């Protein structure tokens, strides 16, 4: 019985982690109407997610979105965007609220599908999701000229 | 013609029902399927009862397991939650259920407080987070909260600050933060302080304004770290930022209005402004130094600050501030207090390098020479996974005849420590301090557990 549970759990984990590992990693996405996010550098992206840059070049307010900690792409994206492990990031988020700078933290939007839908709906939104979930409702941002699937892409899957 | 009309009418008669039922309508679930599902549910519940019986042999079955008995399925009975709890709403003939088999629900008492809704749908929700630190100190200056202690020090287990941090968002632009701290001192009695209460309006990144009690934007540390000791790498604040009621010299708290924002149009520099006006510190050292309710003068303190977070050096922050107040102590000439600060800070997840200097000046009316107190510290730390060794050196030199300062001595020396984050939300810190004063030198060792909950 225990063996069966272990096998089922491992199988479930493999199925869940599969797309993240096998496919194209994490995609940074913006609203389709956004023209200010074309061709961003990794540094610019990090500044946006940490709240240091608050507006797009056309003056529109940036709304940063993150998936919940349970989503498989969260860990890799946070490591890239903030240079932090999950516990460090949790502490960072808490500290931002504590000192009155909540804009330094992307809004936790839960499931990947929620981030996808919100980015499609909010003109100034930017978020990250698993690349294999991206559909035509959003625009994928190239980082240093590379996108998901390109060799050398910084957020490529394993 | 009549024949063709009849054909059309006939065709319409056959077509309309089909038209009225869209092709995408869900397929009707057969009675047999529903019965099969109900049977499976009944079997599952029987199994739960068995398991509960095994887990609690001889005990009475739980009310849910005992009471719920599925009725035999009547044709399409619509049973809602409301119907389950409100007997008159269920027609007896529609649901042939034995009334004794239904779960019994006690009618709420009229004075039952839980029957009242505290939630405001779509309204503000109060969030609370707690912080606490517990210490063991050896040596006269081991405690991380208060200096001088005002009593002979012994090796002591020591409660730190029990801090309840509260937030609530009132609207897209308005939010509230509060911080209620229970703290103990050398009398061993606990005191309660509402250390922060701020209502903040955020228009955009260029302008936000808060009213209430806040941490003054003097230097860096005072606004970067508040009362949750767990956040700070070291076991306590630098001595120059000790709280007013714990021996601190600076007005780290103020009651009034603080506004801040980004300076527009300066690309790449990340220049921010801060402007504050408040009651300032009490003119007297007796009693509460923060003037929460009654100011002892009409004059208000003001503080102006600028800081930059340049794009070209992520993690760096440079800034300075200028504070001015007018104090009216009893029995001596009035005092103009000015505080100038400058700092350079570099903070990344791995590195922490803090450098701050403040000059506190108390100038008494009619005296040519003001009393000047230089305050400074430098702190460096580096993270190695869950471990973070750190070093701090601090220097404060308060003139012995200063008319305002609580502490009038020299406080100078290094601290060496190690922080170990043994859990994601708890840290152990061990810190050695060497302190040189005019009266002599001392050594101390303090161990601390700081956590959030």
Quickly count: other Cβ atoms within 10 Å of residue B224's Cβ. 18
**Quick check: A128 pLDDT over 90?**
yes
Lookup: tokens for A54 = 């608050």
Q: Of B88-92, B359-363, B433-437, give the lowest mean pLDDT range.
A: B88-92
- pLDDT confidence tier of residue A39, bands split at 50, 70 and 90: confident
Please say if the pLDDT value at position A63 is more than 80. Answer: yes
pLDDT tens digits along B362-404: 999 999 999 999 999 999 999 999 999 999 999 999 999 999 9
Mark whether B89 and B202 lie in a shared domain.
no
Calpha distance A73→A22 (Å, rounded) = 12
* B342 has a pLDDT exceeding 60: yes
Of the pLDDT bands very low, low, confident and very high (cuts 50, 70, 90), residue B61 is very low
Model pLDDT, residue B91: 39
Backbone angles phi and psi of A128, in degrees to 5: -130, 140
Cβ–Cβ contact A55 with B under 8 A: yes
Range of the domain at B354: 127-452
Domains held by chain B: number:
2
Decide if B185 is inside a domain.
Answer: yes
Q: Flag whether B23 is in a domain.
A: no
Cβ atoms of B198 and B215 within 8 Å: the answer is no
Q: Looking at the complex, does the CB of residue A61 fall below 8 Å from at least one CB of chain B?
A: yes
Nearest CA in chain A to B232: A95
ipTM above 0.85, yes or no: no
Interchain CB distance below 8 Å, B205 and A55: yes
Is there a contact between A76 and A155 (Cβ–Cβ < 8 Å)? yes
d(CA B71, CA B101): 9
Alpha-carbon gap: B349 to the closest alpha carbon of chain A (Å): 6
Q: B88 and B205 share a domain?
A: no
Q: Tell me the two tokens of residue B376.
A: 């400074």
pTM flag (> 0.90): no
The rounded distance, in Å, linking the Cα atoms of B217 and B358 is 12
Residue A107 token pair? 């809004």
> pLDDT category, A127, cuts 50, 70, 90?
very high
- Residue B377 and residue B344 in one domain: yes
Interface membership of B299 toward A (CB under 8 Å): no
Identify the weakest region by mean pLDDT among B87-101, B134-148, B238-252, B416-430.
Answer: B87-101
- What does the block give as tokens for B356? 């701050």
Residue of chain B whose Cα is closest to the Cα of A79: B349
CATH for B322? 2.40.160.10
Residue B373: CB atoms within 10 Å: 22
For A54-74, what is the mean pLDDT?
Answer: 91
What φ, ψ does residue B438 adopt, rounded to 5°? -60, -30
Q: Write out chain B residues lying below 8 Å of A103, CB-based.
A: 205
Residues B406 and B361 occupy one common structural domain = yes
Judge if B330 and B272 occupy the same domain.
Answer: yes
Local structure of residue B281 (DSSP, 8 states): B
> Is B193 in contact with B210 (CB distance < 8 Å)?
no
Q: Are B169 and B294 in a shared domain?
A: yes
Looking at every residue in chain B, the average pLDDT score rounds to: 83
CA–CA separation, B197 and B282 (whole Å): 19
B244 lies in a domain?
A: yes
Query: Are B335 and B237 within one domain?
Result: yes
The CA distance from A114 to A120, in Å, is 10
**CA Rg, chain A, in Å?**
16
Contact B231 A84 (CB under 8 A): no
B139 and B262 within one domain? yes
Give percent of chain B above pLDDT 70.
Answer: 74
Q: How many CB atoms lie within 10 A of CB B77?
A: 14
- Residue-level pLDDT at B69: 36
Nearest to A99 among B226, B349, B425 (CB): B226
Q: Is B203 on the interface with A (CB under 8 A)?
A: no
CB neighbour list of residue B183: distance below 8 Å, 6 or more residues apart: B145, B160, B161, B162, B190, B191, B193
Instruction: Answer yes or no: do B314 and B448 share one domain.
Output: yes
Partner A, chain B 156-175, Cβ-Cβ below 8 Å: 165, 167, 175
- Residues B224 and B358 placed together within one structural domain of the fold: yes
Taking residues A51-65, report their average pLDDT.
90
Question: How many other C-beta atoms are found inside a 10 Å radius of the C-beta of residue A21?
Answer: 11
User: For residue B109, is it within any domain?
Assistant: no
d(CA A32, CA A40): 15
Domain annotation for chain A: domains and CATH numbers: 24-140 (3.40.190.10)
Burial class (CB in 10 A: 0-12, 13-18, 19+), A75: middle
Q: Say whether residue B262 is in contact with chain A using an 8 A CB cutoff.
A: yes
Question: What confidence tier does B15 reach under pLDDT thresholds 50, 70, 90?
Answer: very low
- Asked whether residue B214 falls in the same domain as residue B321, the answer is yes
Enter the tokens of residue B58: 């001889």
Strand B207-215 and strand B253-262: pairing?
Answer: antiparallel
Does a structural domain hold residue B4?
no
pLDDT band at A59 (very low <50, low <70, confident <90, very high): confident
Q: Is pLDDT larger for residue A80 or for residue B152?
A: A80
Return the exposure string of A23-55: e unless at least 16 CB atoms fall within 10 Å of the residue's CB, then b: bbbbbbbbbeebeebeebeeebbbbbbbbbbbb
Asked if residues A157 and A23 have their Cβ atoms less than 8 Å apart, the reply is yes
Same domain, yes or no: B397 and B256: yes
Query: Which one of B206, B209, B349 makes the best mutation probe of the A interface by having the most chain A beta carbons within 10 Å?
Result: B349
Q: What is the pLDDT of residues A78-122, one digit of tens each?
A: 999 999 999 999 999 999 999 988 888 999 999 999 999 999 999
Interacting residues of B266 by C-beta distance below 8 A, sequence separation 6+ = none
Whether B18 is covered by a domain: the verdict is no
B364 in any annotated domain: yes
């Amino acid at each position: 019985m225990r063996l069966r549970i272990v096998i089922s759990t491992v199988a479930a984990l493999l199925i869940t982690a599969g797309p993240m590992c096998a496919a194209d990693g994490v995609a940074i996405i913006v609203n389709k109407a956004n023209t200010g996010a074309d061709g961003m550098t990794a540094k610019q992206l990090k500044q946006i997610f940490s709240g240091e840059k608050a507006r797009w070049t056309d003056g529109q307010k940036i709304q940063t979105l993150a998936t919940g900690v349970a989503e498989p792409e969260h860990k890799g994206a946070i490591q890239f965007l903030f240079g932090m492990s999950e516990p460090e990031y949790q502490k960072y988020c808490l500290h931002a609220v504590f000192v009155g700078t909540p804009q330094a933290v992307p809004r936790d939007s839960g499931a990947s599908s929620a981030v996808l839908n919100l980015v499609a709906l909010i003109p100034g939104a930017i978020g990250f999701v698993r690349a294999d979930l991206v559909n035509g409702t959003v625009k994928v941002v190239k980082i240093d000229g590379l996108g998901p699937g390109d060799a050398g892409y910084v957020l490529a899957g394993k | 013609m009549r024949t063709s009309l009849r054909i059309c009418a006939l065709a319409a008669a056959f077509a309309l029902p089909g038209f009225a039922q869209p092709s995408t309508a869900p397929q009707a679930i057969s009675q047999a399927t529903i019965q099969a599902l109900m049977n499976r549910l009944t079997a599952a519940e029987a199994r739960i009862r068995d398991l509960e019986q095994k887990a609690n042999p001889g005990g009475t079955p739980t009310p849910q397991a005992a009471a719920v008995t599925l009725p035999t399925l009547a044709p399409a009975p619509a049973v809602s939650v409301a119907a389950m709890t409100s007997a008159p709403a269920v027609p007896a003939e529609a649901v042939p259920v034995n009334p004794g088999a239904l779960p019994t629900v006690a009618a709420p008492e009229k004075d039952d407080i839980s029957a009242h809704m505290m939630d405001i749908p779509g309204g503000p929700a109060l969030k609370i987070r707690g912080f606490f630190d517990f210490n063991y100190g050896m040596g006269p200056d081991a405690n991380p909260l208060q200096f001088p202690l005002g009593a002979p020090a012994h090796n002591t287990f020591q409660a730190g600050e029990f801090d309840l941090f509260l937030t609530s968002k009132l609207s897209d632009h308005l939010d509230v933060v509060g911080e209620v701290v229970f703290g103990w001192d050398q009398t061993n009695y606990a005191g309660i302080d509402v250390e922060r209460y701020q209502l903040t309006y955020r228009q955009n990144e260029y302008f936000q304004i808060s009213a209430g009690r806040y941490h003054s934007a003097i230097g860096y540390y005072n606004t970067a770290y508040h009362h949750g000791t767990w956040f700070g790498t070291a076991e306590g604040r630098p001595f120059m930022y000790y709280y007013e009621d714990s021996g601190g010299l600076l007005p780290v708290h103020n009651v009034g209005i603080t506004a801040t924002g980004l300076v527009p149009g300066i690309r790449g520099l990340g220049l921010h402004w801060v402007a504050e006006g408040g009651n300032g510190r009490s003119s007297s050292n007796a009693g509460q130094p923060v003037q929460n309710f009654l100011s002892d003068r009409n004059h208000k303190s003001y503080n102006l600050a600028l800081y930059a977070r340049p794009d070209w050096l992520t993690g760096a922050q440079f800034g300075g501030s200028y504070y001015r107040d007018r104090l009216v102590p009893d029995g001596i000439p009035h005092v103009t207090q000015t505080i100038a600060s400058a700092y350079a800070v570099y903070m990344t997840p791995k590195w922490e390098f803090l450098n701050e200097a403040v000059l506190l000046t108390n100038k008494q009316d009619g005296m040519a020479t003001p009393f000047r107190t230089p305050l400074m510290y430098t702190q460096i730390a580096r993270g190695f996974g869950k471990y973070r060794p750190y070093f701090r050196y601090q220097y404060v030199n308060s003139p012995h005849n200063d008319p305002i300062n609580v502490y009038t001595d020299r406080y100078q020396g290094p601290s060496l420590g190690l922080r170990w984050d043994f859990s994601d939300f708890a840290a152990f810190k061990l810190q050695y301090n060497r302190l040189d004063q005019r009266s002599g030198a001392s050594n101390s060792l303090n161990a601390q557990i700081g956590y959030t909950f």
